[in-house]
Structure 1
Amino acid sequence: MPKNKGKGGKNRSRAKSDRNDKRELHYKNTDEGQEYAQVLKMLGGPWLEAYCFDGQKRLCHICGKMGRKVRITVGDVVLISLRGFQDNKADVIDKYLPDEVRTLKTAGELPESVKLNETEDGGDDIEFGSGGEEEEEEEKDDDDDQKDDIDDI
C-alpha cells in the first residue's frame, strides 16, 4: 500500500490558505473602464448591488475565480470593470482589505465619505445581566403580587 504523504483531502487547501504575504495594490485603470465601488447588498449567487464612486448603483457579477476564493460582504470596497454594452452592470475584479482601503483613501483615490467595514467581531453590543435597580424593584413587586394571589385562593 502507498504511504500517506499528508497532502490528501482538505489538508492541501488549508496549507495554501495560510499565507499572509503582502499583495500588490491594484489601482483603477480608467482606460479599461475600471471603477471603485462599495457593496450595498448581496443578492445571492454571484450577484451583488454596489454603489460606484462615479455616483451610480450597479448590479455586479463576481467572477468565477473570486467567488470560490474571496469572501465578499456588505460594506467591502471592490474594484469593478464596467461593461461596454451594459452601463448598469459590471464585473467584480478585486476586493480590497481594510488596510488597502486606508491606503487608497490617503492616496486620494477614494472619497473621504467612504466608511470602512471593520466590525470583525460581529457583535451588536448586547449586554446581558442586571440593568439596574429599577429592574430589581419591579421583580420584587411582581413576587409580592403572586404571593397575594395565592393567599386569596
Structure 2
Amino acid sequence: MRKNKGTSGKSSDTPEVTRVRTPRKDKNEILATVGTLLGGKRVTLQCMDGVVRMGRIPGSKKKRMWVREGDIVIVTPWDFQDSKADVIWKYTGPQVNWLQRKGYLK
C-alpha cells in the first residue's frame, strides 16, 4: 500500500490555474446570494439583477450541494413566474474570491 508523501510535486512559486463556471446569459443564468433557509429545499435569494426570489434546490443536487446562508450560487429564474428560481450551482471559497477579483460580484 502506498503512503501519501504530502507533496503534490508542484513547486510553490507556480500559480495555480482554476476553472470557474460563470453564468451563461444565453441560458438566462444569474448570480445570487442565499439569504435565508426556508426549510426543505427552499431558500430566499438576493439576485444580482436586484430581485429577491424564492429559490428551489432540485432533488438531484440537494444531497451533493449543501447550501448555507451567504453562499454565492448560480440560479435560473422560471420562465412563467419571475419571483421563483432554481439553484443550479454553488461556488466554493476560492471560486468566490476569483469572481470578486474579476468583477463578477458587486
Q: TM-score range by the shorter chain?
A: 0.7 to 0.9
Considering fraction of residues, name the structure with more strand. 2
What's 1:95 paired with? 90
* Structure 2: gaps of 5 or more residues: 1-16
Q: Which has more radius of gyration?
A: 1
Q: Which aligned runs of 4 or more in structure 1 are off by greater than 2 angstroms?
A: none
Distance in 1 (alpha carbons) for counterparts of 2:18 and 2:38: 28
Partner residue of 1:57 out of 31, 52, 72: 52
Where do 1:1-153 residues align within 5 Å? 24-111=19-106
* Deviation per residue, 1:20-59 (Å, 9 max, x gap): xx97421001111100000000001110001001111000
Tell me which protein shows more helix as a share of its residues: 1
Aligned twin of 2:9? none
- How does the TM-score come out when normalised to structure 1? 0.56
Report how many residues are paired: 90
CA offset digits 1:107-141 (Å, max 9, x no partner): 11111xxxxxxxxxxxxxxxxxxxxxxxxxxxxxx
Gaps of 5+ in 1: 1-21, 112-153
Identity between Structure 1 and Structure 2 (%): 32
